[in-house]
Amino acid sequence: MTTMNSSRSTVLITGASSGIGKATALLFQQRGWNVAATMRSPDKASDLQGLDRLLPLQLDVTEPESIQSAIAQTLEAFGGIDVLVNNAGYGLMGPFENCELEQIRRQFDTNVFGLMAVSQFVLPHFRDRKRGTLINISSIGGRVTFPLYSLYHSTKWAVEGFSESLHYELAPLNIQVKVVEPGPIKTDFYERSADRQLKLDSDYQAFYERVMPKMNKAGQSGSPPEAVAEVIFKAATDKSDRLRYAAGKQAGFLLTLRKLLPEPLFYQFIRQILIR
C-alpha cells in the first residue's frame, strides 16, 4: 500500500511508464523521496502500484486538464513539489520530406510544447515556495545530429535553447534549471517510443536501409536507463549551479568530440560511422 509522507522531498516525473522515466521513479523512491510517477496510462504500470511513497498518476503532456489534475493530486498527497523531471517524449524518425504535417505537429506537441506546458503549471508553485528544481531531459541529440532524425533533433535543440535561457530568469527566484543529455540508451526509444516514417520515396530507400540498422545498433549497445536515472538524481540533489549533465557511456565522448573538432571533421566522423 502506498504510504504518503509530506515531510520528504517530492519529485514529479512525466513519461514514467517505462525506460528512463520508470528507472528514475524507482530510484527516487528507493532513496526515500515521494514520487508522483505520471504517464498517459497508469493502469499499464502495475509494477509501480502499491509502492511506498510512489503515486502513479495519469498525465498527458498534450492535455492541459490532465497536467493540472496530476499536479493537484500530487500536492494533495505530498503537500508540495520540490523537483519536476520533464521526461515524456519520443522520436520521429525518417526522411523529413516524407513526414506528414500531423506527425511533425505531434512531435513538437509532445517533446517541446508539452514540456513547456508542464513547466508553466509547476512554476507558480515553485515561486510560492521560493525554491524548486526543473530538470528537462534533452539528449546529446540536442547538440549533435544524426541522419534521419531531423525532427527529433529540432525538438531537442529547442529544449536546449529554452532551458538555457530559462535558467537565467529563474535563478533570481531560487529556481534551478537542469538539462540532462543522455546518449544511446537501451530503452524502447527505438521501438515503442519511436514513430518511424515508413512511406519512403524511392530516392531515400537505400539511404534509410543503410543508416537505420547502424542507429539501432548504437541504441542496443547503449547504457541502461538506470545510468541516466543516477545522473538525474545527481542533478536534483547536488545543489550546484551546473546547467548540463551528460548521461551514458557514449554521451560525454560525443559531446566533447563535437566541441573540439572543426565542423568539417566532425561531419566526416558522423558520415564514416553511420553512412559509409
pLDDT, tens digit (0-9, with 9 covering 90-100), for 101-111:
999 999 999 99
Query: For this structure, is 9 an active site residue?
Result: no
- Domain range list for the chain: 10-274
β-strand partners of 185? 223
Q: Which fold does the domain 10-274 belong to in CATH? A: Rossmann fold (3.40.50)
pLDDT, tens digit (0-9, with 9 covering 90-100), for 221-275:
788 999 999 999 999 999 999 999 999 988 999 999 999 999 999 999 999 999 9
Nearest to 229 by CA among 18, 80, 23, 77: 23
Average pLDDT, the chain: 93
If residue 117 lies in a helix (H) or strand (E), which one and from where to where?
helix 115-129
Q: Which of 149, 152, 190, 245 is catalytic?
A: 152
Q: Which of 9, 119, 138, 223 is catalytic?
A: 138
Query: For this structure, is 204 an active site residue?
Result: no
pLDDT value of residue 1: 42
Question: Of 4 and 180, which is predicted with more confidence?
Answer: 180
pLDDT, tens digit (0-9, with 9 covering 90-100), for 172-195:
999 999 999 999 988 665 555 456
Q: Which of 22, 139, 149, 156 is catalytic?
A: 156
155 to each of 159, 160, 176, how far by Cα in Å?
6, 9, 22
Query: For this structure, is 44 an active site residue?
Result: no
Q: Would you call 176 helix, strand, or coil by DSSP?
A: strand
- Residue 79 gets the label, from left (phi > 0), alpha (psi -120 to 50) or beta, of left
> Distance (Å, rounded) from C-alpha 30 to C-alpha 157?
32
| Lookup result for grid cell 545510468 | 227
